[in-house]
Copies of this chain bind each other. A is one copy, B any other.
């Protein structure tokens, strides 16, 4: 890391696998698809694949752009434990905020990541997972049981997260559901054997309970895996909800946002509690990270933009997020300084805010 480069807090990522991976297992973690590529094709033939070979191969002692087979052979030779350590240490991230709500038990969690990376790590609690893990509960008692369970689950957490984008779409009724509606929805859910929660009323209830909890609320927006309907994940669809929550003093963190990051930037400009990132996108667009990062720095004030990787499973993705962000931020703002648009001091200050200062302030990280 260059002395002039900003310190980083990765305000949204997932756990890391400690398993050794074969080609199929590795490729499944570098694509949003849940199916194999066409015969004869590789998921590594993508911006993410090229970027991974470019930036991670040297960390494992290989030349830049080492091919996929060589990379995987080297990774197996080192073992996942050593590879994770090399990749996470070299990422030079100070703090990881880890969403533990998806396959959390199968992956290294916040304490292990902290130890492997030589960093701090805190937990982000997924609102839907807390509900689905509730013990015995009645429809009448659902709201109170959820409130208590959420309070317990977030005792040491620094934020909560909603995946209403996946479960319903962001085009939900922005108003808090009534007590009566929640009881009826809970009754349906219990009667149906407590399936994965996709009922709009329950999802809205969980989200509003997240607001009530008072910690920053992260929301998945934009692209993700094939479960979601991208046209319903435009963060601009949250406008009514943002209007309804703007005077609560609870930060709303719009995650990923791509390809709607300009819409998200407007929301960060217009509403006092809205923050944005282009995590996930920077990794997936690789050589285009500069272009996408620059677009994310249009309307969003610089005290409203954060760094994240949204890395899941592979330590490569935690590493790549940090490297691509630093490289892209330096290139983009360096050009603005060179062309006289920004002063050099302003570029450093914006980098500190976006890299870590905003996260430190919003999540209350000493």
Contact B288 A32 (CB under 8 A): no
Which residues of chain B come closer than 8 Å to A36, judged between CB atoms?
272
CB nearest neighbor in B for A301: B46
**Beta-carbon contact of B33 and A303 below 8 Å:** no
Contact present for A45 and B294 (CB under 8 Å): no
* Other-chain contact of A46, B294, B302, B349 (Cβ < 8 Å): B302
Which residue of chain B lies nearest to A36 when distances are taken between CB atoms in the complex?
B272
CA distance A27 to B132 in the complex (A): 46
Is residue A263 within 8 Å, beta carbon to beta carbon, of the partner chain? yes
CB neighbours (8 Å) of A230 from chain B are 236, 239, 263, 266-267
Q: Give the oligomeric copy count.
A: 3
Interface members, chain A 278-300 (any B CB < 8 Å):
284-288, 291-292, 294-295, 297-300
Which residues of B have CB within 8 Å of A294? 288, 291
B303 near A45: Cβ-Cβ < 8 Å? yes
A54 and B342 contact, CB distance less than 8 A: yes
A40 sits at the interface (CB 8 A): yes
Contact (Cβ within 8 A) A269 B46: yes
Report B-chain residues with C-beta under 8 Å of the C-beta of A225: 270
Question: Do residues A341 and B301 form an inter-chain contact, with CB atoms below 8 A?
Answer: no
A 224-246 binary contact with B (CB < 8 Å = 1; else 0): 01100111001011011001001
Q: How far is the CA of A38 from the CA of B38 in the complex (A)?
A: 49
**A269 with B231: in contact, given A43-B301, A298-B285, A303-B37 (CB under 8 Å)?**
no
Q: Does A35 contact B (CB under 8 A)?
A: yes
The answer to whether A325 has its CB under 8 Å from any CB of chain B is no
- Tell yes or no: A166 within 8 A of B by CB: no
A208 at the interface (CB under 8 A from B): no
A336 to B37, CA, bound (A): 25
Chain B residues within 8 Å of A226, by CB: 243, 270-271
Set of chain B residues within 8 Å of A343, measured between Cβ atoms: 50, 54, 64-65
Are A54 and B237 touching (Cβ within 8 A)? no
- What distance in Å separates the Cβ of A126 from its nearest Cβ neighbour in chain B? 22
Q: Check if A223 is an interface residue, CB within 8 A of chain B.
A: yes
A302, B45: Cβ atoms closer than 8 Å: yes
Chain B residues positioned under 8 Å from A302 (CB to CB)? 45-46
Contact between B285 and A45, CB atoms less than 8 A apart: no
Smallest CB–CB gap between A255 and chain B, Å? 15
Complex-state Cα separation, A302 to B284, whole angstroms: 13
Complex: A299 Cα to B289 Cα, angstroms: 11
B236 pairs with A231, CB closer than 8 A: yes
CA distance A284 to B258 in the complex (A): 20
Query: Is A129 interfacial (CB-CB < 8 Å)?
Result: no
B243 contacts A41, C-beta separation under 8 Å: no
Contact between A299 and B270 (Cβ–Cβ < 8 Å)?
no
| Beta-carbon contact of A38 and B361 below 8 Å | yes
Minimum CB distance partner of A288 in chain B: B298
Chain A residues close to B by CB (< 8 Å): 31-33, 35-38, 40-43, 45-47, 50-51, 54, 64-65, 223, 225-226, 229-231, 234, 236-237, 239-240, 243, 246, 258-259, 262-263, 266-267, 269-272, 284-288, 291-292, 294-295, 297-303, 336, 339-343, 345-346, 349-350, 353, 361
Please name 14 pairs of A and B residues whose Cβ atoms are closer than 8 Å in the assembled complex, sorted by A: A32-B270, A36-B272, A38-B361, A42-B303, A45-B302, A64-B343, A65-B345, A226-B271, A229-B236, A231-B234, A231-B236, A284-B298, A285-B298, A287-B339
**Considering the complex of A and B, which 3 residue pairs feature the smallest CB-CB distances, nearest first?**
A259-B262, A287-B341, A65-B343
